[in-house]
């Protein structure tokens, strides 16, 4: 059996990969993959990594020297991977779509909880405080939901919003012609949206897409939802928009500097990230720790697709979900035919 080094492993990962795996000997490492832990990949045939692993050029070089030729990402995004450094050395595959419903439904859950202040109500009634003061929300019916990024997840979120009786508009550099969504330029979408939800990938073009200038263009009282990538939003600008009332609130499943914090328990430690502490402390912010993908269906799909990517590589078949088109031989380094 081929040996796979599996980084940033969590109990739910082990459950589903052990259940679906037939062909590999998987060693689970709790440590994140980075230039230091890449030394653990010696004597392995492949590596499986996740969204907050730091796979920079030094990590790539270390894995290459250890004989690693396949990096299987069990996530859709790959902004944490130096793809250029990997080109000609290591094949990279990802899971482009594990469950658009999981992420879209979590975005809707953040929206409903934030708007109707369910988190506050829950904490109050646990203390037998049944006051309704401070729990007023708005009707979503008739409001406008602006969607940035109209891929599968964004379109699924739009369907949910239309179920609430909302009008949906979208911004996407590559709009679909099917007529399901009305597309607007970004500045118009910001100016008209009562709810703004981010569903686009992180790239050089989308980094800090929502900055001070973008927040100034927003409709006052907007509810912001981000289940995509933290660095789409400039944190300092987000805090200012929350402070000055530009935003009614923010429901966040991601954070710009989350790699150091998310997926771990820091409940008994002092949080040294002041911006993160401020966000958590605000009454009009709900922060979840990158859990939008976390459904049984999505975990099964992630395991199945990741293992399929490994199967295709080791059998020499074309890789459907390869990033960058690295087509070279595992053994010789020459181009595959």
From 62, 91, 199, 290, the catalytic residue: 290
Residues 107-136 pLDDT 10s: 999 999 999 999 999 999 999 999 999 999
Distances in Å between the Cα of 64 and the Cα atoms of 90, 196, 302, 336 are 7, 42, 25, 18
Is residue 229 annotated as a catalytic residue, yes or no?
yes
- What's domain 2-98+296-314's superfamily in CATH? NAD(P)-binding Rossmann-like Domain (3.40.50.720)
* Residue 177 confidence (pLDDT): 82
The predicted model scores a pTM of 0.89
Query: What whole-number distance in Å separates Cα of residue 291 and Cα of residue 293?
Result: 5
Query: What whole-number distance in Å separates Cα of residue 124 and Cα of residue 117?
Result: 11
- What's domain 100-287's superfamily in CATH? NAD(P)-binding Rossmann-like Domain (3.40.50.720)
Residues 243-280 pLDDT 10s: 999 999 999 999 999 988 999 999 999 999 999 999 99
Per-10-residue mean pLDDT of the chain, 337 residues long, equals 97 97 98 97 97 96 98 94 96 94 98 97 97 97 98 96 98 87 96 98 95 98 97 98 97 95 93 96 97 96 98 96 63 31
Query: What whole-number distance in Å separates Cα of residue 333 and Cα of residue 36?
Result: 25
Token pair for residue 63? Answer: 């894995």
Residues 70-92 pLDDT 10s: 999 999 989 899 999 999 999 99
Q: Collapse the DSSP code of 251 into the 3-class scheme (helix H, G, I; strand E, B; otherwise coil) and give the result.
A: strand
Query: What whole-number distance in Å separates Cα of residue 50 and Cα of residue 32?
Result: 8
Is residue 258 annotated as a catalytic residue, yes or no?
yes
Token pair for residue 335? Answer: 């181009």
Asked if the domains at 2-98+296-314 and 100-287 fall in one CATH topology, the answer is yes
* Residue 325 confidence (pLDDT): 61
Per cent of the chain over pLDDT 90 is 91
Domain range summary for the chain, segments of one domain joined by +: 2-98+296-314, 100-287
From 229, 234, 256, 312, the catalytic residue: 229
């Amino acid at each position: 059996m081929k040996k796979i080094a599996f980084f940033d492993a969590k109990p739910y990962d082990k459950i589903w990969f052990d259940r679906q795996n037939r062909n590999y000997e998987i060693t689970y490492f709790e440590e994140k993959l980075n230039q230091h832990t890449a030394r653990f990949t010696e004597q392995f045939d492949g590596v499986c990594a996740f969204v907050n692993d730091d796979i920079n050029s030094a990590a790539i070089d270390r894995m290459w020297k250890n004989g690693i030729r396949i990096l299987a990402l069990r996530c859709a995004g790959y902004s944490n991977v130096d793809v250029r450094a990997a080109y000609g050395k290591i094949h990279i595959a990802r899971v482009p779509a594990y469950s658009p419903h999981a992420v879209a439904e979590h975005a809707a859950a953040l929206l409903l909880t934030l708007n109707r202040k369910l988190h506050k109500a829950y904490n109050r009634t646990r203390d037998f405080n049944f006051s309704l003061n401070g729990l007023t929300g708005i009707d979503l019916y008739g409001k406008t939901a602006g969607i940035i990024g109209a891929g599968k997840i964004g379109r699924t979120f739009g369907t949910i919003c239309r179920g609430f009786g909302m009008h949906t508009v979208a911004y996407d550099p590559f709009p679909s012609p099917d007529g399901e969504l009305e597309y607007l330029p970004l500045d118009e979408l910001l100016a008209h949206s009562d709810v703004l939800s981010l569903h686009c990938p992180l790239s050089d073009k989308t980094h800090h897409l929502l900055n001070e200038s973008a927040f100034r263009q927003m409709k006052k009282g907007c509810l912001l939802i981000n289940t995509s990538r933290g660095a789409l939003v400039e944190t300092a600008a987000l805090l200012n928009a929350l402070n000055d009332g530009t935003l009614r609130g923010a429901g966040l499943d991601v954070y710009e500097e989350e790699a150091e914090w998310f997926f771990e328990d820091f409940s008994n430690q002092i949080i040294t990230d002041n911006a993160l502490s401020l966000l958590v402390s605000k009454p009009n912010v709900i922060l979840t720790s990158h859990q939008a993908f976390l459904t049984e269906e999505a975990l099964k799909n992630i395991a199945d697709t990741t293992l399929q990517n490994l199967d295709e590589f080791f059998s020499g078949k074309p890789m459907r979900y390869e990033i960058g088109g690295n087509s070279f031989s595992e053994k010789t380094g020459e181009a595959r035919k």
